[in-house]
Structure 1
Amino acid sequence: MSPRPLDYHVQLHTLLISAEVHCLLILKLVGMLILIHVTAACPLDCYCFTNTGLVQCHFLSLQEIPREIPHWVQNLSIIGSHIAVLRTAAFVSNRTHLVNLTSLILSNNSIQTIEALAFHGLPSLTTLDLSYNLLSSIANDTFLGQTQLQVLKLNHALQKPAPEQLFNSQWIMNLRSLRILEMASNALQLFPSVVLALEDLQVLNIGNNSLQVVDAETISALSNKSKLWVYLSPNPLVCDCQIATMLYWLRNTSQVLDAQSLTCNAPVNLNGTHVTKLNTEDLKCQHKDLKTASYVFLGIVLALIGVIFLMVLYLNRRGMKKWVNNFREACRDQMEGYHYRYEQDSDPRRSNISTGI
């Protein structure tokens, strides 16, 4: 007896429900496996947020870059550790490159040395923050291949003294796409003019350093880069005659975005005065020029007197020789007289005669 059509449809419906349940169970299992894999990929004691692509490793006393950074990371923040050396390919683990990483924060990690190709394997990196470190050595090929890097922050990052030695054209010229460079609070005494070779640079922040003046050559180079905006305040500017060219530049350019905030640190009578409000008379250039000219004139007069004196001696060399000989003879006669008197005084017999004993 063949089964009735109703029983056949019931069995088919039951089979479909069972298959659907099994599919849901498989999907849940796959989801759990994916979640377990993602969780396991997060470095120990770090926080990983898959929905935003953020990985945070803060104040963990790390001595090197963690090796378990997930490949999906877009924003990586490692702060407050003790990574003295940032080694070559520091972010490559098991030949895996962090191709999605665009923002990297490595501030306050006591980094002293950055080796060549330290950021190898980060082809999409656009923003790098190395602020608040102790950099004393940056390899020439540190940024080789970082064609997408647009923002570099080095605020309070260079070890003192003489941070100017770190600025050389070797590693800076590899930053071809850089648009924003921050170097505040590094005790720079000279304007880092080497960075002006970066053609795409749009914003340069060198405030809170030790600049006393921006020299005329640097001002000329800055004037040729009309699309570059500069932040200079604060700096201990010396408002004397040497700042005259800088004063003219500040009054006739819009490149310095904080020009109105610049103040004089010296001399004492101009301390705290806004640079853009200075008058030419305040710089006392004319007085300084006259003083310099006076010293030069005095030196010339003394030199002429010396030359004339030597000429007189040369022209009267025979008479001078005779005078020297006469003076020598007179001195000899005088010394002989003193010697005779000494002998007379030292002879006891002559002393007794002279006393009448």
Structure 2
Amino acid sequence: MARKQARARSSGRWLPWLGLALLAVPPAIAPGGCPSACYCVATPELVQCRYERLEEPPKELPVTVHNLSIAGSNLSTLHGAAFALHPLPDLRLLRLRHDNIQVIEDMALQGLPSLRTLDLSHNPLGSVAAGAFAGAPLLRTLQLNQVLLTTSLEEQLALALHNLSLRRLELTGNSLRALPVTLLPTGLEELDLRNNSLQRLTAAELQVLDAPGLRGLKLNLGANPLSCDCALRPFLAWLRAATSRVPDARSLRCAGPPPLRGATLLRLRPEGLVCTASEGGEPGQLETASYVFFGIVLALIGIVFLMVLYLNRRGIKRWLHNLREACRDQMEGYHYRYEQDADPHRTSAMDTTPGL
């Protein structure tokens, strides 16, 4: 009985402190916070909805949310009123990865006036309306990694990005074979083209990069199958002069031809790249001219050497004769010393000499 009373007294002492501690902890979910399909991390300012088969963005979101992530859903069509009925005035980051988004309608981002970063990566985009991003005037970063970018989709995106002031555009993993010139708005600062199918940048594409509105643009070109043939000369010369504009320039390597496979791009010289008929440069001219010139030089060197030998045949003959006589005298000296050392009479006389 005494023990039970002691335990009750000790627990009574801790109850006030426990109540104060619980009051000091902020609630993880605000009133009317995260919807049932999502969960909030730490505060309602960060909402993540993962692999819940949503067909539209959740409506019961905290008004104060800053970052919203919806992954693994089936949004398919991002309707024009997707966020307009329940606006999120403080939302800055919206990630919609792996959501099977195929269509983005006009004003799909209406109700997100503070949005700065939009991630639409890993979605099979097929149709993007011209006013798809009109509801987000502050959008600065757009991520379109692995969205199966086709020619028609590129044209649609060009219209949709026309009135935006993008600063960063990500297009990794889209199998691009050329610079997406139409998707480069004036004032763009970063363009990520890693893991595509670029073999080179042509002279015309380099002129676009040197246009007044894109001179500060930085490119990321890693993991592209660059072909180090003579058609790469304009890009290699540009790269050596503007290395600071390509942050991963020192890691770029040649994917072909076989003799240069794996070679560091910046260690090559533009004049050292050889043209062949199959490499898209000046078909066979430089290669043929190089071999012909090399053969002519070797022939001239051989002719000069033979002429020198012919004109100095007497001197060479005299030099050979003198060399032979000198070798003969040397051998005779060695032979004489060997005979003197081998004579037994001379050896015994030296042994009987007084004082030895």
TM-score by length of 2: 0.66
Q: SS of 2:215's equivalent?
A: coil
Deviation at 1:123, TM superposition (A): 0.6
Q: SS of 1:204's equivalent?
A: strand
Deviation at 1:84, TM superposition (A): 1.3
Q: SS of 1:110's equivalent?
A: coil
Q: How many residue pairs are counted as aligned between the two chains? A: 254
Instruction: Say whether the 8 Å CA contact 2:227–2:254 is kept in structure 1.
Output: yes
Instruction: Say whether the 8 Å CA contact 1:212–1:236 is kept in structure 2.
Output: yes
Distance in 2, matches of 1:236 and 1:279, equals 18
In structure 2, the partner of 1:291 is: 284
Matched, 1:122 2:115: no
Q: Could you tell me which amino acid in structure 1 is paired with residue 65 of structure 2?
A: V
In structure 1, the partner of 2:234 is: 245
In structure 1, the partner of 2:219 is: 230
In structure 2, the partner of 1:170 is: 159
Distance in 1, matches of 2:99 and 2:50, equals 10
Q: SS of 2:87's equivalent?
A: coil
In structure 1, the partner of 2:352 is: none
Deviation at 1:227, TM superposition (A): 1.5
List gaps (5 residues or longer) in structure 2.
1-22, 288-356
In structure 1, the partner of 2:257 is: 267
Distance in 2, matches of 1:47 and 1:116, equals 29
Deviation at 1:292, TM superposition (A): 5.9
1:244 and 1:78, CA in 2 relative to 1: closer, same or farther beyond 3 A? same
List gaps (5 residues or longer) in structure 1.
1-30, 295-357
Q: SS of 1:285's equivalent?
A: coil
Deviation at 1:45, TM superposition (A): 3.0
Instruction: Say whether the 8 Å CA contact 2:78–2:108 is kept in structure 1.
Output: yes
Distance in 2, matches of 1:42 and 1:289, equals 63
In structure 2, the partner of 1:189 is: 177
Distance in 1, matches of 2:268 and 2:90, equals 51
Deviation at 1:91, TM superposition (A): 1.5
Distance in 2, matches of 1:147 and 1:106, equals 19
Q: SS of 1:200's equivalent?
A: coil
- Give runs of ≥4 in structure 1 deviating > 4 Å: none
Distance in 1, matches of 2:265 and 2:117, equals 34
Deviation at 1:226, TM superposition (A): 2.5
CA RMSD in angstroms, aligned pairs only: 2.6
In structure 2, the partner of 1:152 is: 142
Q: SS of 1:118's equivalent?
A: coil
1:88 and 1:57, CA in 2 relative to 1: closer, same or farther beyond 3 A? same
Work out which of the residue numbers 63, 66, 72 in structure 2 matches 1:71.
63
Distance in 1, matches of 2:264 and 2:286, equals 30
Deviation at 1:199, TM superposition (A): 2.3
Give the 5 Å matches for 1:314-333: none
Deviation at 1:78, TM superposition (A): 0.7
Distance in 2, matches of 1:289 and 1:50, equals 62
| Cα shift readout 1:126-157 (whole Å, capped 9, x = no counterpart) | 1111112111221111111421011111112x
In structure 1, the partner of 2:329 is: none
Distance in 2, matches of 1:45 and 1:291, equals 64
In structure 2, the partner of 1:276 is: 266
Over the matched positions of the two proteins, sequence identity in percent amounts to 40
Distance in 1, matches of 2:48 and 2:93, equals 12
Deviation at 1:211, TM superposition (A): 0.8
In structure 1, the partner of 2:309 is: none
Instruction: Say whether the 8 Å CA contact 1:190–1:211 is kept in structure 2.
Output: yes
Instruction: Say whether the 8 Å CA contact 2:32–2:62 is kept in structure 1.
Output: no
Deviation at 1:41, TM superposition (A): 4.3
Distance in 2, matches of 1:125 and 1:59, equals 23
Instruction: Say whether the 8 Å CA contact 1:145–1:174 is kept in structure 2.
Output: no
In structure 2, the partner of 1:219 is: 206
Q: SS of 1:166's equivalent?
A: helix
Q: Could you tell me which amino acid in structure 2 is paired with residue 80 of structure 1?
A: G
Deviation at 1:290, TM superposition (A): 6.5
In structure 2, the partner of 1:10 is: none
Instruction: Say whether the 8 Å CA contact 2:45–2:67 is kept in structure 1.
Output: yes
Instruction: Say whether the 8 Å CA contact 1:239–1:270 is kept in structure 2.
Output: yes
TM-score by length of 1: 0.65
Instruction: Say whether the 8 Å CA contact 1:164–1:190 is kept in structure 2.
Output: no
